[in-house]
């Protein structure tokens, strides 16, 4: 059997800490028995959970620290207070030192991003990090990035997102050459989307064998599965993601109220209960938990802070797959290919002149 | 009885032209009998429809033109080819000349925006136009703008959107002092959203009696109805709108497939049919058809190009309400109030220094 996947867990991250992190890791372990964990945090609290979950205890090592980053701390505060000492930092440090293959945290996003950049540094050729998520679509699933790591960005930044996102799609969906679309709006001759247009020209001119650039996709194309990878800068990506989540919750609420209005609809609900359960599962945000930080010298997964053990397990699963199918190597392959390297890439200005 | 609302219709706009525009106007007329129409376009095609709809014929005047803007034309082409002659231009021109109170078109958005700016000009104090839409929420409805007229924009532009959007909310929802939120992302200390932060400071410092600024709202706050008015620049606003539409269609598709999977779910569907119909009505994009162009010396409504008569009627309804409840006067009141005027407003730079 191949080497185990070693996962560093920030046991104190998120709204609940060890009572979610430990059972969550346990659920993922049943799906991927070739995993071992290093848990960073308050060893008393962690061991209480491990004692209740012997299977995961056997696959885990605990490293104690008193310092935990709170959900409210600003990135700069977190760095000042928790550098070298916090459970979040130590989980990332295990990746840097090669003691773990991936770090997973449900902690404060800004702090985790700042610590990841500070500790792991950016990949050569990448200036700014990104957060990628897996978005369920009518067709199947797509990788959408950046959903909130960096705001704005020129054509070169958008092209780097395309490269990293398509590497992630190759890993996750086992597609040789994922299709990539640039998120844009359908209004022509409008000022301000120059960088998106330039990125399109750049991606066309690079003509990378690892990805199939298909052009622009509008907001409603995401849910249709118009491309395997949807690329946009972090502000609009975050707005898109949160708006979709809000719309899903809104429709679930409409559905709930519609089904409880009359005795006929209540009866209909009873008959179709398993159909509604399937729908709920499909819309379950826990199933798509796990944002992947891209652009770093290491794999870092961010879980939602308020998730439960099932949701945290999804984030651990994502980390497992990124390592097992060698995300970083695939990104670096594209970055370092002759002519494809972003370090050698013309700047946006040159590319379109 | 008060004076009638005079609506200029671009009868050739949209994918279908008169066969949708005329019956659509007819549906709206039954809801607002104090309306009269001027229809611009191919008089033979229009009259064929009017002959089939005598009620609307009695309330309509037809002005013939051979020129119609296509859905594919670029704004600059449309202006060159259709200025002074096209049905779109003539409908706008009727508003400029005071012969109509509002123009409604299902034509090409970019062309309609370009012609509106060119013909009607911007309101004093407003530099750039916006498109506002009515967004259904769990609570009720909100005005969201800009959904695609201008990309990017400084704090002053965002403040002008807040003023125009709240005037629209006052007109539509009959709220004395609508709440206004600025769309933002929940990541702190991230570069690039300076203009959104500056706009927040500006709106706080202006402290307008016509609106209640409540701060930032994330993407999932729109569907929750976190504010009566949600303000953002046109790129992210368009992405949000289209993403929500895509998500709604995606969930409708999930629901359809879930309800047809087993005999139990099919039976459940039959029992709950009226509940599903209520849900479908609630999610019906035709009901929220009608983007309002704001910032112009006149009221212009854009209908979706592919809509049917029912959807076009919604757009005509929106135009009717904007005129009947005097949108332009309400916007101008706020713009020209002492201290509230955007022309007198400090620039973003001064406001935050």
Peptide bond connecting A189 to the previous residue in cis, omega within 30 degrees of 0: no
CA of B204 vs chain A CAs: smallest distance (Å): 23
pLDDT at B278: 78
Say how many domains are in chain A. Answer: 2
pLDDT at A301: 96
According to DSSP H, which parts of chain B are helical?
18-31, 43-52, 54-58, 75-82, 87-96, 109-120, 155-173, 194-206, 219-224, 234-259, 263-271, 273-283, 309-324, 327-335, 348-352
Query: Is the pLDDT at B38 greater than 80, yes or no?
Result: yes
CB within 8 Å: A243 and B244: yes
- On whether both A161 and A52 belong to a single domain, the answer is no
A81 contacts: CB under 8 Å, gap ≥ 6? A67, A69, A73
- On whether both B223 and B274 belong to a single domain, the answer is yes
Phi-psi sector, A174: left (phi>0), alpha (psi -120 to 50), beta = left
- On whether both A40 and A180 belong to a single domain, the answer is no
> Between these two residues, A189 and B267, which has the higher pLDDT value?
B267
Which of B233, B266, B288 marks a domain boundary? B288
Q: How far is CA A191 from CA A195, B42, B72, in A?
A: 10, 34, 19
Looking at chain B, which residue has its C-alpha nearest residue A274?
Answer: B265
CA of A184 vs chain B CAs: smallest distance (Å): 8
Residues spanned by the domain of B264: 127-288
A256 contacts: CB under 8 Å, gap ≥ 6? none
With both helix axes pointing from N to C terminus, report the angle between B109-120 and B87-96 in degrees, rounded to the nearest 10.
Answer: 30
A109 touches chain B (CB under 8 A): yes
pLDDT at A344: 46
- Across the range B38-42, mean pLDDT stands at 98
- On whether both A6 and A96 belong to a single domain, the answer is yes
pLDDT, tens only, A8-43: 999 999 999 999 999 999 999 999 999 999 999 999
Residue A315 lies in a domain: yes
- On whether both B14 and B84 belong to a single domain, the answer is yes
Query: Is the pLDDT at A351 greater than 50, yes or no?
Result: no
Residue A147 lies in a domain: yes
ipTM > 0.90, yes or no: no
Q: How far apart are CA A300 and CA A305, in angstroms?
A: 15
B150 touches chain A (CB under 8 A): yes
CB within 8 Å: B223 and A243: yes
**CA angle at B222 for the pair A241 and B273, rounded to the nearest 5°:** 90
Residue B346 lies in a domain: no
Q: Look at chain B and count its residues.
A: 353
With both helix axes pointing from N to C terminus, report the angle between A263-271 and B273-283 in degrees, rounded to the nearest 10.
Answer: 100
Distance of CA A264 to the CA centre of its chain: 42
CB within 8 Å: B246 and A282: no
> Between these two residues, A95 and A267, which has the higher pLDDT value?
A95
pLDDT at A203: 94
> What are the phi and psi torsion angles at A8 (to 5°)?
-90, 125
CB within 8 Å: B235 and A193: yes
Buried b (16+ CB within 10 A) or exposed e, A62-97: bbebebbbeeebebebbbeebbeebbbbbbbbbbbe
- Which of A137, A232, A238 is the closest to B219 by Cβ? A238
Q: What share of chain A is helix, strand, coil (3-state, %, to 5)?
A: 50, 15, 35
Residue B344 lies in a domain: no
Residue B260 lies in a domain: yes
Residue A261 lies in a domain: yes
In chain B, what residues touch A241 (CB-CB under 8 Å)?
Answer: 219
- Which of B240, B246, B275 is the closest to A259 by Cβ? B275
Best interface-test mutation with A: which of B150, B235, B285 has the largest number of A CBs within 10 A?
A: B235
> Between these two residues, A75 and B288, which has the higher pLDDT value?
A75
pLDDT at B273: 81
Distance of CA B224 to the CA centre of its chain: 20
- On whether both B228 and B322 belong to a single domain, the answer is no
A54-68, A237-251, B17-31: the lowest-pLDDT one:
A237-251
- On whether both B90 and B131 belong to a single domain, the answer is no
By C-alpha distance, which of B239, B130, B237 is closest to B182? B237
CB within 8 Å: A279 and B192: no
pLDDT at B338: 58
pLDDT at A1: 45
pLDDT, tens only, B323-332: 998 888 888 8
- On whether both A267 and A155 belong to a single domain, the answer is yes
Query: Is the pLDDT at B85 greater than 90, yes or no?
Result: yes
- On whether both A156 and A13 belong to a single domain, the answer is no
- On whether both A133 and A255 belong to a single domain, the answer is yes
- Which of B192, B247, B261 is the closest to A152 by Cβ? B192
In this prediction the pTM is: 0.89
**CA angle at A12 for the pair A11 and A14, rounded to the nearest 5°:** 105
- On whether both B77 and B88 belong to a single domain, the answer is yes
In chain A, what residues touch B187 (CB-CB under 8 Å)?
Answer: 109-110, 113, 148-149, 234, 238
Query: Is the pLDDT at B257 greater than 70, yes or no?
Result: yes
- On whether both B218 and B97 belong to a single domain, the answer is no
Residues of A numbered 210-269 whose beta carbons fall under 8 angstroms of chain B's beta carbons: which are they? 218-224, 232, 234-236, 238-251, 253-255, 258-259, 261-262, 264-265, 267-269
According to DSSP H, which parts of chain A are helical?
18-31, 43-52, 54-58, 75-82, 87-96, 109-120, 155-173, 194-206, 219-224, 234-259, 263-271, 273-283, 309-324, 327-335, 348-352
CB within 8 Å: A243 and B247: yes
CB within 8 Å: A109 and B137: no
CA of B23 vs chain A CAs: smallest distance (Å): 28
CATH of residue A121: 3.40.718.10
Buried b (16+ CB within 10 A) or exposed e, A210-219: bbbbbebbbb
pLDDT at A187: 53
């Amino acid at each position: 059997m191949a080497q185990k996947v070693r996962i560093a867990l920030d046991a104190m991250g998120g709204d609940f800490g060890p009572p979610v992190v430990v059972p969550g890791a346990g659920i993922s372990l049943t799906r991927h028995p070739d995993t071992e964990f290093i848990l960073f945090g308050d060893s008393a609290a962690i061991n209480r959970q491990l004692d209740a979950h012997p299977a995961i205890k056997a696959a885990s090592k605990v490293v104690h620290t008193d310092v935990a980053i709170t959900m409210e701390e600003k990135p700069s505060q977190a760095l000042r207070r928790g550098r070298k000492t916090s459970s979040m930092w130590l989980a990332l440090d295990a990746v840097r030192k090669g003691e773990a293959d991936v770090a997973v945290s449900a902690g404060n996003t800004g702090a985790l991003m700042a610590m990841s950049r500070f500790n792991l540094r950016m990949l050569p050729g990448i200036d700014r990090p990104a957060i990628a998520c897996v978005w369920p679509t009518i067709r199947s699933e797509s990788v959408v990035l950046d959903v909130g790591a960096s705001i704005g960005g020129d054509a070169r930044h958008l092209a780097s997102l395309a490269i990293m996102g398509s590497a992630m799609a190759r890993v996750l969906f086992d597609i040789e050459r994922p299709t990539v679309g640039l998120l844009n709006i359908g209004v022509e001759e409008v000022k301000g989307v120059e960088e998106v247009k330039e990125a399109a020209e750049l991606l066309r001119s690079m003509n990378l064998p690892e990805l199939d650039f298909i052009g622009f996709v509008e907001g409603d194309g995401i849910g249709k599965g118009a491309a395997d990878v949807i690329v946009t800068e972090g502000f609009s990506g975050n707005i898109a993601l949160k708006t979709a989540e809000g719309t899903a919750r809104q429709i679930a609420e409409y559905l709930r109220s519609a089904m409880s209005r009359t005795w006929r609809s209540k009866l209909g609900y009873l008959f179709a209960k398993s159909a509604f359960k399937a729908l709920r599962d499909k819309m379950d945000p826990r199933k798509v938990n796990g944002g992947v930080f891209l652009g770093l010298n290491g794999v870092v997964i961010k879980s939602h802070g308020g998730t439960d053990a099932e949701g945290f397990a999804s984030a651990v699963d994502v980390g497992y797959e990124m390592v097992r199918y060698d995300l970083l190597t695939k990104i670096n392959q594209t970055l370092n290919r002759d002519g494809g390297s972003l370090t050698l890439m013309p700047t946006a200005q040159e590319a379109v002149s």
